Amino acid sequence: MADTTYLKDNLQGFVPTPTASDIISDVVRGSSVLRLSKVQPMTSETQKFPVMTGGPGAYWVGEIERIQTSVATWIFPELVAKKIGVIVPCSKEKLEDSTVDVFSAIRPYIAEAFYKAIDAACLFGTNSPFAKSIYGVAKDAGRAVAEGTNDKLDLDISDVMALVENEGMDVNGFAAGYDLKNSLRKLRDGNGNQLFVAGVDQNTLYSQPIEFSRNGAWDKTKARAIAGAWNYAIVGIRDQIQYETLREATLQSVTMGDNKPLSLAENDMIAIKATMRLGFLPVKENAFAILTPKAAGASSAGK
């Protein structure tokens, strides 16, 4: 049945479930962290997730001998959901539309704002409510290689992968900024084959997925790329999105043509504030390594 509730009669509440699910799907598609990490639904604000860090062993067994057993190692990291919010200005006419129509129209703006903030926080700790970030845990442990350490970029990346492999894990993905794309497209193996392969839905590097963080979330002053065993980064998502309609607020972050902040009352507009909750934690800190920007004075030959 079509949604017949109108925004003017429902100035706050939960975004209708199908539309909220669509927004969350857009967020997952747009976020490099969510595409690479292990994403779990959260049914409460605080939730523990079982993670196997060491599997059971297998043993050679002779005839009629008893099979030995070993115990897998489990940890139970606790994720705490934190609120993330965005305010989208709209024309006052939106009050006459149904809530489904309103959120269908502003869905791209909500999703973009969410996945930009999520990537910036989870990757670099930028404006983050979380205790740890991917860049932070790798940097603190010294798992980094500076671009220009080798004569070629692909060898630098290989050395970054080795930092994870030395911990007994395989790199199963990369995150990077868009500014690295040109350099990656030029990489070739000994037979002239591309090491970076651009696909329709996914790009690969060394046959592993590489996700490019969008819309300014990537901090290129800190890292060129991050390699990791991303199954050890957990994201928990609450499936509800709350909204509130603002009619009198002044939005200091929005500047109008007269260089003054947007006043909803004076400009005869409304704004929709949307919030969702999300938790994040790198549960194995040695699962990530970074390619840092080229040191000053380093050669760029072969890049």
Can you give the pLDDT at residue 241? 95
The number of angstroms, rounded, from the C-alpha of 279 to the middle of its chain's C-alpha atoms is: 11
* pLDDT over threshold 90, residue 15: yes
Residue type for 273, please?
K
Q: Model confidence at 292, in pLDDT bands (50, 70, 90)?
A: very high
Of 1.20.1260.10, 1.10.10.10, 3.30.70.580, 3.30.2320.10, which CATH number belongs to 142-234+284-292?
3.30.2320.10
Question: How many angstroms separate the CA atoms of 135 and 123, rounded?
Answer: 6
Residue type for 28, please?
V
Q: Model confidence at 214, in pLDDT bands (50, 70, 90)?
A: confident
The interaxial angle of helices 99-124 and 17-30, nearest 10 deg, is 30
Determine which helix (DSSP H) or strand (DSSP E) holds 116, and give its type and residue range. Answer: helix 99-124
Residue given tokens 């990656």 in the structure block: 184
Q: State the pTM of this model.
A: 0.86
Question: How many angstroms separate the CA atoms of 250 and 285, rounded?
Answer: 42
Question: How many angstroms separate the CA atoms of 242 and 15, rounded?
Answer: 6
Can you give the pLDDT at residue 60? 63
What is the pLDDT averaged over residues 160-169? 96
**Tens-digit pLDDT profile for residues 190-210:** 778 888 988 777 899 999 999
Closest by Cα among 20, 86, 12 to 247: 12
Structure tokens at 229: 């065993």
* pLDDT over threshold 90, residue 285: no
**Tens-digit pLDDT profile for residues 83-105:** 999 999 999 999 999 999 999 99
DSSP state of 5: -
Percent of the chain with pLDDT over 70: 89
Residue type for 66, please?
R
Can you give the pLDDT at residue 71? 59
* pLDDT over threshold 50, residue 144: yes
Closest by Cα among 8, 3, 1 to 270: 8
Domain definitions of the chain by residue range: 7-52+73-129+240-280, 142-234+284-292
Can you give the pLDDT at residue 57? 56
What is the pLDDT averaged over residues 142-167? 95
What is the pLDDT averaged over residues 112-132? 95
- Torsions phi, psi for 174 (to 5 deg): -130, 150
